[in-house]
Amino acid sequence: MINISFLNYFTKYLFSIFRMKYHEKFTEDDFSLTESGLFYKLLVKVGLASSKTHYLAKRIIILAVVTWIPLLILSAMQGLIINDKIDIPFLYDVTTHMRLLVVIPLLVFAEKSVDFRLNEFIDQFFHSGINRDSDKPLYILIRSKCKRLIDSLLADIIMLIIIVANITIRWEAAPSSDGTYWMQSPDGNDAGASWAGIYFLLFCMPIVQFILLRWLWRWVIWFIFFLNISKLPLRLRPSHADEAGGIGFLGTPPGPFLPVTLAISILFSAAILEQVIFLHHKLPEYYITMGAFIIISIILNILPLVVFVKPLVNCRRKAIFDYSALIHHHHQHFDDKWLESNEPGSLLGNPDPSSTADINSVFQTIRSMKAVPFDLKTMASTILISALPMLPLFVLQYSVKEIIQKVLSLLL
């Protein structure tokens, strides 16, 4: 029987990835990964740059109007919405629908959660005293450096070059031998692209690819930002209960880029679904690819946190020596007082044994200090989000009854 409380927790966790108490307006002390680049400057000019929910909704509707709806109209004009003569008509192209109607909206909404989580981390660094107010000039210098990178015109130019090169390769590539698509002319494989196919290659794909490449660049900036933060004089506390010197909050799920992971996983799963249903590929052919995707997702979500390994390892090593000496002195005084004294007195009600146990407990906490500010929960959340869209694929390979029987055979 399914545990209802677990389902409630899981549902709340899934929605928490996007639904947070966001900054409605960034102050000069806030840092944004998303309010930058050519696309953002265009949004500013048309009055859609705000991060408020209704502006994001407008942005999503406009993107759908200029991408998916023209494809629908052009496909209808050439009879490619539903056509028995082609393997994948427009209506059945799950990958395209997911790409334009699900993935892009998720990536747009992810802008709020990413900026919120990043600024939440920054606030915690200063609020907890890991960074002091005297470190603010150094932090501002790091923020300015990353801001210049995120606003770099060169980065946008490189993205556009990659997009143009990709479109050129796709345009010149021969039609796939696996089957026929709505993007091909209905007159035959040798007749070139359909009207909708031309629009998709020259307009829709550049938009999608630019958004995805922009998110990749934001991830790089996130990594660089944390790398520079890790080089600040962090005041880590080796005896902190989070076993990460006080920066364990960095690994608290959901991570900043989990919404992006979810969006890309949906697109990845939709592409496999299309291959299995319409081109009659076997799902086991993609098991290695699916596993590799999950591993890459984990790496991308935890790699920016790995930069804190050096300060954490140094903190733990120094603390072991310092606290070892402190404990030795403490125990020496205890032995001198209670074992070597001619009149030791009574231990009953005396706080000395309690202090000995307490300081030993602190030392055990230091010895268990981790070298990274995350744990299995952080990786498990990434696995959950990246694997969730893949679960329906297994219904294609196994019946629901077979899946239940396999699960029960493992449990019972």
State yes or no: pLDDT of 100 exceeds 70: yes
Contact partners, residue 136, CB within 8 Å, separation at least 6:
126
Query: Which contiguous run of DSSP H or E holds residue 402?
Result: helix 400-411
pLDDT at residue number 171: 72
Task: List, for residues 62-79, the tens digit of each pLDDT value.
Answer: 999 999 999 999 999 988
Give the 3-state DSSP-derived string for 314-365, with helices as H, strands as E and coil as C: HHHHHHHHHHHHHHHHHHHHHHHHHCCCCCCCCCCCCCHHHHHHHHHHHHHH
C-alpha span between 159 and 148 (Å, rounded)? 17
Q: Examine the domain organization and report whether 344 and 251 are in the same domain.
A: no
Lowest mean pLDDT across 137-146, 171-180, 305-314, 393-402: 171-180
pLDDT at residue number 227: 95
For residues 6 and 349, the model is more confident at 349
On whether the CB atoms of residues 393 and 272 are closer than 8 A, the answer is yes
Q: Examine the domain organization and report whether 139 and 152 are in the same domain.
A: yes
Q: Examine the domain organization and report whether 224 and 265 are in the same domain.
A: yes
Q: Examine the domain organization and report whether 336 and 260 are in the same domain.
A: no
CA contacts within 13 A on the Cβ side of 403? 10
Stretch 392-410: mean pLDDT: 69
Q: Is residue 393 part of a domain?
A: yes
C-alpha span between 143 and 229 (Å, rounded)? 10
Stretch 268-279: mean pLDDT: 86
pLDDT at residue number 305: 94
C-alpha span between 108 and 53 (Å, rounded)? 10
**If 0-12 CB within 10 Å is exposed, 13-18 middle and 19+ buried, where does residue 43 land?**
middle
Q: Examine the domain organization and report whether 177 and 321 are in the same domain.
A: no
pLDDT at residue number 233: 92
State yes or no: pLDDT of 19 exceeds 60: no
Q: Examine the domain organization and report whether 265 and 227 are in the same domain.
A: yes
For residues 293 and 188, the model is more confident at 293
Task: List, for residues 232-253, the tens digit of each pLDDT value.
Answer: 999 999 999 899 999 999 988 8
Q: Is residue 181 part of a domain?
A: yes
**If 0-12 CB within 10 Å is exposed, 13-18 middle and 19+ buried, where does residue 49 land?**
middle
Task: Please calculate the CA angle 45-48-51 and round it to the nearest 5 degrees.
Answer: 130
Q: Is residue 2 part of a domain?
A: no
Q: Is residue 121 part of a domain?
A: yes
Name the domain count of the chain.
Answer: 2
Q: Is residue 29 part of a domain?
A: yes
Task: List, for residues 21-42, the tens digit of each pLDDT value.
Answer: 444 444 446 788 888 877 788 8
Task: List, for residues 86-96, the tens digit of each pLDDT value.
Answer: 888 898 888 89
State yes or no: pLDDT of 315 exceeds 90: yes
Amino acid of residue 83: N
Q: Examine the domain organization and report whether 149 and 283 are in the same domain.
A: yes
Q: Using pLDDT thresholds of 50, 70 and 90, give the confidence band for residue 215.
A: very high
Q: Using pLDDT thresholds of 50, 70 and 90, give the confidence band for residue 10.
A: very low
C-alpha span between 191 and 193 (Å, rounded)? 7
Q: Using pLDDT thresholds of 50, 70 and 90, give the confidence band for residue 346.
A: low
Candidates 264, 276, 31, 24; CA nearest to 149 is 31
Contact partners, residue 298, CB within 8 Å, separation at least 6:
379, 382, 383, 386
Q: Is residue 185 part of a domain?
A: yes
| Backbone φ and ψ of 184, nearest 5° | -95, 150
Mean pLDDT of the chain: 83
Q: Which domain holds residue 362?
A: 317-367
**If 0-12 CB within 10 Å is exposed, 13-18 middle and 19+ buried, where does residue 360 land?**
middle
Q: Examine the domain organization and report whether 302 and 322 are in the same domain.
A: no
- Write down the pTM of the prediction: 0.82
Helices (H), 78-204: 94-98, 104-127, 136-150, 153-172, 195-199
Q: Examine the domain organization and report whether 290 and 347 are in the same domain.
A: no
pLDDT at residue number 406: 65
For residues 290 and 378, the model is more confident at 290
State yes or no: pLDDT of 180 exceeds 60: yes
Position of tokens 């959950």? 384
On whether the CB atoms of residues 311 and 230 are closer than 8 A, the answer is yes
Q: Examine the domain organization and report whether 224 and 358 are in the same domain.
A: no
C-alpha span between 300 and 219 (Å, rounded)? 8
Q: Is residue 219 part of a domain?
A: yes
Residues facing residue 193 across a β-bridge:
184
Q: Examine the domain organization and report whether 338 and 283 are in the same domain.
A: no
Residues facing residue 184 across a β-bridge:
193
Stretch 190-195: mean pLDDT: 75
Q: Is residue 63 part of a domain?
A: yes
State yes or no: pLDDT of 191 exceeds 70: no
Please give the share of the chain, as a percent, with pLDDT higher than 70.
83
Q: Examine the domain organization and report whether 266 and 344 are in the same domain.
A: no
